[in-house]
Amino acid sequence: MQAVKYARASSVDEAITLLRDGGDTARVLAGGTDVIVQARERRRHIELFVDIKHIPELTSLTHGGDGGLTVGAATPLYRIYGDTEVVRRFPALAEATHVIGGKAIQGRASLGGNLANASPAADSIPAMIVLAGVARVAGPGGTREVPVAEFCSGPGRNVLQPGEFITSIHFPPPAAGSGQAWERFIPRNEMDIAVVNAATYLAFDGDVVTEARFALGAVAATPLSVPAAAAAVVGRRLTDETIAAAAEAARQTATPISDMRGTVRQRKHLVGVLTEHVIRRAVERARA
């Protein structure tokens, strides 16, 4: 490990001060499951870790009176998928967080960390996008909100400015009678990085789709929101034809590369398959 120092913040303001004083080489430490490896392997030059896990609001999980959900940025994943209300009302988020790493990773890793790490294949980000998640950010210039869909700017890069960090991610209440689902393809049974992942959120008036959001991972430089797939179903009933149109729109939006995990052709194919899967599973949930 490089010669990194450790500081524990007990409030957001203290973390802001520590990060400002630490300058460019200071990093927030939440679960550490990505950033400690990056420091050890010298993929990031880090001289100061500011531990934000002892700031109470950073490790909270709150269901609002309006049915919304606020997850502290450093809240470990097991508390998210282990929350019965999250499983019932935000199942796409529960599905994604349940399969990130193994149990020991899930004891530490966080939504804020998965988002800030900005992996194109991050499992939680497509789920957060379709749930209209908004990252609340604190920094030397005050606080601001960034939609999760606009947070990542490239592989491992995000829109955070120097000294800024995510404090929480807020999700508005899902509409009554809506459905949502998240799914990924991996060649192993568990403990793998997605070849493709996909998520959807669908709201209905009777059988007609009134609102739709789609997102994909591991098929572009960042996790992608897919408005073209939403446009293919909004105002329509879901039939084999409209579902196929959404899947085709998702295929057209994806710009994957070939790498050790999959080829362009396989990933394009999987985008169509997974988009259809998540639509059908979201519909089942909406009708349940």
Between 108 and 267, name the residue whose CB sits nearer to another protein. 108
- Give, as one character, the DSSP assignment of residue 274: H
Between 54 and 269, name the residue whose CB sits nearer to another protein. 54
Task: Look at residues 160, 162, 157, 149 and name the one whose alpha carbon lies nearest to residue 217.
Answer: 149
Between 116 and 135, name the residue whose CB sits nearer to another protein. 116
Between 40 and 265, name the residue whose CB sits nearer to another protein. 40
Minimal distance, residue 131 CB to another protein, in Å: 25
Chain contacts with another protein (rule: CB under 8 A): 1-6, 8, 29, 31-33, 36-37, 40-41, 49, 51, 53, 76, 78, 101-105, 107-108, 189-191
Minimal distance, residue 36 CB to another protein, in Å: 5
Minimal distance, residue 78 CB to another protein, in Å: 7
Minimal distance, residue 81 CB to another protein, in Å: 13
Pairing of strands 48-51, 5-8: parallel
Between 29 and 69, name the residue whose CB sits nearer to another protein. 29
When computed from its CA atoms, the radius of gyration of the chain, rounded to whole angstroms, is 19
Minimal distance, residue 259 CB to another protein, in Å: 18
From CA 287, how far away is CA 252, in angstroms rounded?
29
Phi, psi at 259, each rounded to 5°: -150, -165
Sheet holding 196-205, edge to edge: 179-185, 196-205, 208-217, 224-225
Between 50 and 202, name the residue whose CB sits nearer to another protein. 50
Degrees to nearest 5, angle at CA 265 with 261 and 271? 80
From CA 109, how far away is CA 217, in angstroms rounded?
19
Answer whether 81's CB lies under 8 Å from 94's CB: yes
Minimal distance, residue 15 CB to another protein, in Å: 15
